[in-house]
Structure 1
């Protein structure tokens, strides 16, 4: 049996919202809450969820833009970028964290969950993965080019679980000065590991974007699987 996928519904104080669920062929494994970019739970993010399911994890991807519209999917062209920024700016970060907490609870209700739960977030989701770790909701956290983490370092002392952060050396959205600021703040925190990928732009993991960097994406995925294997 291959990876199986479905949309599930999760109850919240504001109503029901959807989450994409991917289950490995073994029907069991540790859990991952996968946190979207600003482009919604689109084809790329669903494919990432399916990849981690193929790697043996139960994966849930909450639809964080549902208050603006259910299952919004955007592409990476100019119009997609414009709408994505509008949606991100309209998103209440506190409510998004509440949704992630509910998605983790839904994941823990899955009969096949066998082990801990990690968060993995991309771009906007990278920041949310960092905050999910600070909120004590997961056993391990991973961020890919998490924008704005440098502005949330007041939460740094609350990071008490293993945290792996991936950044691109040539990220036009997250300058190296920001990464250095993050690294300096976590210098004495043995839980935190930061990897910078040479010649990699923002979004280097996304094969649907012009900034896709195959080598950096492959290395980051390998580093992520090793980290999860060691820490989860």
Structure 2
């Protein structure tokens, strides 16, 4: 049996929202809550969920833009970027965190969950993965090019779980001085690891974007799997 996928519905105080669930062929494994970019749970994020399911994880990717419209998914063109920024600005981070917590609860209810749960987020989702770690909702956390983490370092002391952060050396949205600021704040925290990938732009993990960097994506995925294997 191969990876199986489906959309499920999750109840919240504000209504129902969707989440994309990917289950490995073994039907069991540790869990991952996969946190979207600003482009929604689109084809790319679904493919990432399936990739981690193929790696042996139960993966859930909640639709965090559902209050603006169910299952919004955007392309990486000019119109997509414009709409994505609008949706991000309309999203309350506190509400998004509650939705992520509900998605984690839904993951915990899966009969095949065998082990801890990690959060992995990309871009806006990277920042939310950082908050998820600070909120103590997961056992480990990964943030890919998490925009704005450098402005949320007052939460650094709340990070009590292993945290891996990936950044691109040539990220036009997250300058290296921001990465250095983050690194300085966590230099005495042995639970936090930061990797900077040479010649990598923002969104380097996404094969649907012009900024895709195959080598950086492969190395980051490998580093993430090693990190999860060691810490989860």
Give how far 1:198 is off.
Answer: 0.1
- Summarize deviations over 1:115-166 as a string: whole Å, max 9, x none: 0000000000000000000000000000000000000000000000000000
Aligned-partner Cα distance in 1 for 2:68–2:82: 15
Aligned residues: 232
- Summarize deviations over 1:175-214 as a string: whole Å, max 9, x none: 0000000000000001000000000000000000000000
Any gaps of 5 or more consecutive residues in structure 2?
none
Give how far 1:113 is off.
Answer: 0.1
Q: Secondary structure at the match of 2:141?
A: strand
State the TM-score, normalized to the length of structure 1: 1.00
Aligned-partner Cα distance in 2 for 1:8–1:213: 32
Give how far 1:114 is off.
Answer: 0.1
For residue 35 of structure 1, what is the aligned residue in structure 2? 35
Give how far 1:173 is off.
Answer: 0.1
Give how far 1:170 is off.
Answer: 0.1
Give how far 1:84 is off.
Answer: 0.1
For residue 133 of structure 2, what is the aligned residue in structure 1? 133
Alignment of 1:94-109 (within 5 A): 94-109=94-109
Aligned-partner Cα distance in 2 for 1:45–1:155: 27
Aligned-partner Cα distance in 2 for 1:44–1:215: 18
Aligned-partner Cα distance in 2 for 1:27–1:95: 31
Aligned-partner Cα distance in 2 for 1:222–1:229: 10
Q: Which runs of 4+ in 1 moved over 4 A?
A: none
Give how far 1:10 is off.
Answer: 0.3
